[in-house]
Amino acid sequence: MKAPFWTTRRRDALTGYLFITPQLIGVVVFVLVPVGLAVWYSLNDWNIFRGELTFVGGENWAALLDDPQLPSVLGATAVFSGGVVVLNISLGLALAVMLNRRFRGVTVFRTMFFSPVVVSVVAWTLVWGFLLQDNGGINAALSVVGIDGTNWLQNGNTAMVAVIVTQVIRSVGVNMVLFLAALQGVPGELYEAARIDGAGDAAIFRRITLPLISPTLLLTAIITIVGALQAFAQIAVLTQGGPGLSTTVLVYYVFQQAFEFNDIGYGSTLALMLLTFVMLLTLLQWQLRRKWVFHEN
Amino acid sequence: MTTATRLGAAMLAAAIGLTAAGCSADSTGSDDTSSTPAAAGSVDLRMTVWTSNEDQLALFDSIAESYRAEHPEIGSITFESLPFADYNTTLTTQIAGGNAPDLAWMGDLSEDLISSDALVPLTEKLQDTEGWNYDDLLDSVTAEFSDGDELYAYPFSNSPFALYVNTDLLAQAGQTLPADGLTWEDVSTIGAAVNAATGKGGFVLRDFDYASWNVLGTVWPGWGAAAWSEDGTECTFDSPEMTEAFRFLHDAAFVDGSMPGPGTTADFFAGDSAFTVAQVSRASLLDGSFAYDVVPLPEGPAGEYSVIGQAGVGVLSSSDHVEEATDFLAYLTNPENAALLAQYFPPPRESLLTGEALAANNPKLTAEQLQTVVVDRIPDAVTLPNHANPAEIAQKGKTALDAMWTADADVEAVLGSVCDAIQPLLSR
């Protein structure tokens, strides 16, 4: 007797495929096809106005080595991403630890720190742009206490700091909520046992809290790094990459090359380089998780 | 996923990319200029503009309606309003995506479009159109949109830059304009006095914002300076004339206090400054909240000069309906319609350039003001710096020039670095 085609295993497999089909279509149309196109464009010189696509092989890739601005752009990208990641995670964790206690008004504080997350990036950045002007609100507030504030966005030393802080204040709420959830998942008896053993606050935090929330630390580290490497609107609205190249991060540079200078080939090459960075960083963190993420041991 | 599967997926994506890219490149290269008569209602034309002014769009619609009444083959003529700030990027993206308009307004993108043969030559068509009167066009306004003797876009708007004066603020500071001609030194001195007496800004170069340095092209001709040589191949930012012009601007911002410094907002039209340099077309922003005057640009050490900001309209050679689009352009810009457009845009036709004619449609400025700052100025005016690849030149120049806007800047060294940054682009 012939076995029926629709076995339970096949039915389950079909159900599974049907569930992932919408997502798969999205990934193919909005990720794989554009990445494939970017690879192709990176091998070509596209004269948009003439409608001519000329195959140039590795010329755009070789141009990466000759681009005098690229080292500054990569440096700015590293400073911005590093600054955002360190500040965002440490501030998010500190806020979560503080707001993981029971005290009057804790919900108000949690809402206050989370609310910037739901504000549009552009609206948030525009308002901060006004505040950070030479004659803006921040310097006006500083002058009240006798401090002569600098020209935050026009000064090469402070523009990057201003952009990082603006970004962190807006997005720290997400990490704070994730850390809060993780902290509330730490069993209370572990703290109790540690205290009976005579452990102080610092030791408890280092020996119990941090290891138990390490999976969340990994998650927040990955999403914060990826988010920082994708930051565009903040730069476009606040500084347009200036002064000089001090805040020109890689995503903004890709936009300039591809859509302002109409050099789609070189812009695609830079975009693929960014994609490679993101993948490598994520892969590195994924590999390192065995060393420092508690549940992976 | 195995390595082989990953490789297969990547190859598939690349193959799709290849196919799509091929389609895209082909679709922008259409060259259907067939002269066979089109069927009634079969031709739809689209023109991109950056105005969103309802009156201006209504005027365009009414001209298009008149044209359609005489040309049954035209199904529709659409005026697509794109935001000014992103106009070049949006238009370029449309062209790249194979969705180019048939006609387009253009500003500093014209050089790129002309050098890439992306625009249809217009001279023969306009000269051959009965009653169009090609010789009525002023030479000074067609140069920017021409290659040799061939015109590629009709310069429908030629708005001179002028100096707007808030006479109320001057009076508050006890200042008056000199009767025997205004110089940039006078503007700086009076501006500094207004700043000291009222706390308001001295002079503001509108839209400069210490970023759009091509706006400074309204100042440096007064010193006899230019951004690059006439043929556009040699950077001249490091010339002695340019150095003096920038010393003046730097001192104005950081020594005299006559020009608001970087990061300081001062809007002349909100009453925040004594002077501003802006196009005559900005007069519509004057709301009567203060007394004002509008005078020609001040003289510099090199004497009198005038500058215009231009906009042109041309036909994209990628259009499927080049012939119909070119015919509509000739109709849109004929003497009768040019007179209608002159309500909003200073015209390129000598016959339409009189103070009285312009004043009839401009409630903010008198016929005398329009005569001195528009009519008398257009024939000898220079344009703002324009070159092929304008966005990259602007960006590289800005990156270098940012170092100028600190109190202790080395003006000569910074200007040298501007040339280092943009010379490779000029030489291409």
Here the tokens at position B215 are 């706006």
Nearest to B265 among A39, A133, A264 (CB): A133
Q: How many CB atoms lie within 10 A of CB B21?
A: 17
Closest partner residue to B118 (CB to CB) among A33, A38, A49 is: A49
Question: Is the preceding omega at residue A243 within 30 degrees of 0, hence cis?
Answer: yes
* Minimal-distance CA residue of chain B relative to A69: B396
Q: What percent of chain B has pLDDT over 70?
A: 91
- CA dihedral in degrees (A114, A118, A122, A126; nearest 10)? -50
Distance from chain centroid for Cα B308: 8
Chain A residues at the B interface, defined by Cβ less than 8 Å, are: 32-33, 35-41, 44, 46-53, 69, 133-136, 151-154, 156, 240-245, 256, 259-264
In this complex, the residue of A33, A256, A260 whose CB is nearest that of residue B17 is A33
Interchain proximity A242–B398, CB inside 8 Å: yes
Pick the residue from chain B with its C-alpha nearest to A135. B264
- Interface contact flag, B265 A245, Cβ < 8 Å: no
Work out whether strand B273-279 and strand B201-205 pair parallel, antiparallel, or are unpaired: parallel
Residue pair B17/B300 in contact (Cβ under 8 Å)? The answer is no
Q: What is the pLDDT of residue A295?
A: 64
CATH class for domain B43-159+309-380?
Answer: alpha beta
How far does the CA of residue A113 sit from the closest CA of chain B (Å)?
Answer: 29
Return the DSSP state at B371. Answer: I
CATH of domain B172-307+384-427: 3.40.190.10
User: What residues of A are in contact with residue B99 (Cβ under 8 Å)?
Assistant: none
In this predicted structure, the answer to whether residue B206 has a pLDDT above a threshold of 90 is yes
- Counting every residue written for chain A, the total comes to 297
Q: A265: closest CA among A74, A70, A63? A: A63
In chain A, which residues have their Cβ closer than 8 Å to the Cβ of B399?
69, 241-242, 244-245
Nearest CA in chain B to A30: B13
Buried b (16+ CB within 10 A) or exposed e, B387-406: bbbbbbbbbbbbbbbbbbbb
| Domain chopping of chain B, boundaries | 43-159+309-380, 172-307+384-427
User: pLDDT tens digits, chain A, 297 residues: what are they?
Assistant: 678 888 999 999 999 999 999 999 999 999 999 999 999 999 999 988 888 899 999 999 999 999 999 999 999 999 999 999 999 999 999 999 999 988 888 889 899 999 999 999 999 999 999 999 988 899 999 999 999 888 899 888 899 999 999 999 999 999 999 999 999 999 999 999 999 999 998 999 999 999 999 989 988 998 999 999 999 999 999 999 989 999 999 999 999 999 999 999 999 999 999 999 999 988 988 888 877 777 654
A111 min Cα distance to partner chain B (Å): 33
Residue A260: both structure tokens together: 């302002």
CA angle in degrees (0–180, nearest 5) for B377-B227-B106: 65
B114: which chain A residues are within 8 Å (Cβ-Cβ)? none
* Listed residue (B207, B395, B83) closest to A252, CA to CA: B395
For CA atoms B60, B61, B64, B70, the dihedral sign is negative
Range B14-22 average pLDDT: 37
- Cβ contact A238:A129 at 8 Å: yes
3-class DSSP state of A234:
helix
Q: How far is B321 from chain A (nearest CA, A)?
A: 17
pLDDT for the residue B280: 86
Q: What is the C-alpha separation between B306 and B296, in angstroms, rounded?
A: 8
Residues 6+ apart with CB under 8 A from B380: B140, B306
B418 → chain A, closest CA residue: A244
Cβ neighbours for B319, distance < 8 A, ≥ 6 positions apart? B30, B100, B101, B102, B103, B120, B325
pLDDT tens digits for B362-417? 778 888 888 888 888 888 888 898 898 899 999 999 999 999 999 999 999 999 99
Q: In terms of CA atoms, which chain A residue is nearest residue B425?
A: A261
Residues belonging to chain B? 428
| Nearest CB to A262; choose among B21, B92, B211 | B92
Task: Tell me the pLDDT band of B12, cut-offs 50, 70 and 90.
Answer: very low
Superfamily of chain region A69-296? MetI-like (1.10.3720.10)
3-state secondary structure of B420: helix
* Distance set, CA A86 to CA A149, A223, A288, B52, B254 (Å): 25, 13, 17, 45, 37
3-state DSSP helix/strand/coil % of chain B, to nearest 5: 45, 15, 35
For A20, what's the count of Cα atoms within 13 Å in the CB-facing half-sphere? 8
- Render pLDDT for B53-107 as a digit per residue (tens, 0 to 9): 899 999 999 999 999 999 999 999 999 999 988 899 999 999 988 899 999 999 9
Q: What is the largest CA-CA distance in chain B?
A: 84
* Pairing mode of beta strands A52-55, A44-47: antiparallel
CA distance A44 to A52: 10
pLDDT digits (tens, 9 = 90+) for B277-307: 999 888 888 988 999 999 999 999 999 999 9
Question: How many pairs of residues across A and B have Cβ atoms under 8 Å apart?
Answer: 116
Q: Which helix (H) or strand (E) holds A164?
A: helix A159-184
What does the pLDDT read at residue B396? 94
- Please indicate whether, in this complex, the C-beta atoms of A48 and B16 are within 8 angstroms of each other: no
Q: State the smallest CA–CA distance between residue A129 and chain B in angstroms.
A: 10
Contact between chains at A242 and B211 (C-beta distance less than 8 A): yes
Q: Name residue, tokens 């940039």.
A: B184
pLDDT value of position B343: 82
Closest among B147, B133, B164 to B283, alpha carbons compared: B164
CB B282 within 8 A of CB B269: yes
Question: Coil, strand, or helix at residue B307?
Answer: strand
A154: which chain B residues are within 8 Å (Cβ-Cβ)? 210, 262-263, 405
Q: Cβ separation of A262 and B263 shorter than 8 Å?
A: no
Task: Locate B328 and state its tokens.
Answer: 């509509």
Instruction: Report CB contact under 8 Å: B14, A153.
Output: no
Mean of the per-residue pLDDT values of chain B: 88
Return the structure tokens found at A152: 């935050």
Kindly identify which residue of chain A lies nearest to residue B29, measuring between CA atoms.
A51
Nearest-angstrom CA–CA distance, B399 and A260: 15
| pLDDT computed for residue A104 by the predictor | 86
- pLDDT above 90 (res B342): no
Instruction: Specify the DSSP class assigned to residue B161.
Output: E
- Whole-model pTM? 0.83
Gap between the Cα atoms of A166 and A238, Å rounded: 10
Find, among A190, A264, A122, the residue nearest to B25 by Cα.
A264
Pick the more confident residue, B369 or B19.
B369
| B80 φ/ψ angles, rounded to the nearest 5 degrees | -95, 115
Which residues of chain A does B320 touch, with a Cβ-Cβ cutoff of 8 Å? none
Q: From CA A49, how far away is CA B115, in angstroms rounded?
A: 9
Name residues whose C-beta falls within 8 Å of residue B168's C-beta, 6 or more positions apart in sequence. Answer: B271, B290, B291
Identify the pLDDT of residue B78.
97
The lowest-confidence range among B118-122, B360-364, B415-419 is B360-364
Asked if A40's CB is within 8 angstroms of B395's CB, the reply is: no
Q: Which pLDDT belongs to residue B25?
A: 37
Examine the pLDDT at B18 and tell me if it is beyond 50.
Answer: no
- Measured between beta carbons, the chain A residues lying within 8 angstroms of B395 are 256, 260-261
Range list of β-strands (E), chain A: 44-47, 52-55
Asked if A242 and B95 come within 8 Å (Cβ–Cβ), the reply is no
Q: How far is B272 from chain A (nearest CA, A)?
A: 13
C-alpha radius of gyration, chain B, whole number: 24
Which residues, in sequence order, are CB contacts of A77 under 8 Å at separation 6+? A229, A249, A250
Burial of A165 (0-12, 13-18, 19+ CB in 10 A): middle
Q: What pLDDT was estimated at residue B17?
A: 38
Same fold, B43-159+309-380 and B172-307+384-427: yes
Q: What is the spatial distance between Cα B85 and Cα B80, in angstroms, rounded to a whole number?
A: 15
Nearest Cα of chain A lies from the Cα of B419 at a distance, in angstroms, of 15
Q: Which residues pair with B104 in a beta bridge?
A: B48, B314
* d(CA B202, nearest CA chain A) in Å: 16
Domain boundaries, chain A: 69-296
Q: Which chain B residues are Cβ-neighbours of A245 within 8 angstroms?
A: 399
Q: Are B170 and B373 in contact, with CB atoms under 8 Å apart?
A: no
Which residues of chain B make contact with A135, given a CB cutoff of 8 A? 263-265
Q: Are A263 and A282 in contact (CB under 8 A)?
A: no
Q: Specify whether the CB–CB gap between A49 and B25 falls below 8 A.
A: no
Cβ B263–A48 below 8 Å, yes or no? Answer: no
Interface probe with A: pick from B110, B115, B395, most Cβ of A within 10 Å: B395
pLDDT reported for residue A66: 93
CB contact under 8 A, A49 and B116: yes
What ipTM was predicted for this assembly? Answer: 0.78
Q: Please state whether beta strands B154-166 and B292-296 pair in parallel, antiparallel, or not at all (unpaired).
A: antiparallel
Select from B106, B99, B41 the least CA-distant residue to B320: B99
* Chain A residues touching residue B89 (CB < 8 angstroms): 259-260
Say if the Cβ atoms of B20 and A37 lie within 8 Å.
yes
Give the pLDDT of residue B373. Answer: 85
CB B13 within 8 Å of CB A35: yes
DSSP state for residue B199 in the 8-state scheme? S
Calpha distance A263→A59 (Å, rounded): 13
Give the rounded distance of the alpha carbon of B424 from its chain centre.
24
Confidence class for position B35, pLDDT limits 50, 70, 90: low
